[in-house]
Chains A and B, each alone.
Chain A
Amino acid sequence: GAVVSQHPSWVICKSGTSVKIECRSLDFQATTMFWYRQFPKQSLMLMATSNEGSKATYEQGVEKDKFLINHASLTLSTLTVTSAHPEDSSFYICSALSPLRSPSYEQYFGPGTRLTVT
């Protein structure tokens, strides 16, 4: 069964509003969570790495003030897209990592959130 959940699975919002996406590891504590974005016909691009209790590390070109990441517990990370614009419309996917659960450092992916900004 699914080990990582995301909520909501899809969302439509108006330009200028903010949207929060939740990522939860269901039966394990994730030391690290990752946030990815995928545009149509492109591969996943890592946006940021999130460790519980510390600030997220953002990839080059990703605005940290626009994509706010909070990793408040070992089972929950949130991504807030602030002041969303149509170009932020994308498929946002999180993943969770637990070396205890997977010594090969497999990441477990959530089902993704499809964001459409009108």
Chain B
Amino acid sequence: RKEVEQDPGPFNVPEGATVAFNCTYSNSASQSFFWYRQDCRKEPKLLMSVYSSGNEDGRFTAQLNRASQYISLLIRDSKLSDSATYLCVVNLKAAGNKLTFGGGTRVLVKP
């Protein structure tokens, strides 16, 4: 079983619609969680950290469910520029702050 699993997609989303997807992680000792966005042939860029109480940043909402070991990302009012691969990333501080990346979920927003 992979340490961090994501639905690879692609999620084809009409412009203006809402899309949500999850990520599961296997190590219950994981301590920090992030969503990164990666555009084609570019480096990952931090979209948002994920906090236990859930957090929102504009049109993006992230949730963490420690009991079920998953995190989610919801994008409201999708823009064409939201088309990207979204990487679920988990930090295991006890392992020297190594980040473990999920395989990514590809989102395609279409007009």
Contacts and interface: CB of A to CB of B under 8 A. Distances in A.
B43 A109 contact: yes
B14 interface: no
A91 to B, nearest CB: 7
B22 interface: no
Contacts of B102: 43
A69 interface: no
Give chain A's interface secondary structure class.
Answer: strand
A32 B43 contact: no
Interface string A89-113: 0010101010000001111011110
Interface residues of A, number: 22
A4 B87 CA distance: 20
A109 B44 contact: yes
B66 to A, nearest CB: 16
A48 to B, nearest CB: 10
B49 A106 contact: yes
B98 interface: yes
A91 B40 CA distance: 11
A91 B32 contact: no
A46 interface: yes
A106 B46 contact: yes
Given A32-B97, A44-B101, A49-B96, A104 B32 contact: yes
A105 B93 contact: yes
B97 A97 contact: yes
Contacts of A49: 96, 98
9 contacts: A34-B98, A42-B103, A46-B98, A57-B96, A93-B44, A106-B34, A106-B46, A109-B43, A114-B41
Given A34-B99, A43-B104, A107-B97, 4 more contacts: A34-B98, A46-B100, A105-B97, A109-B43
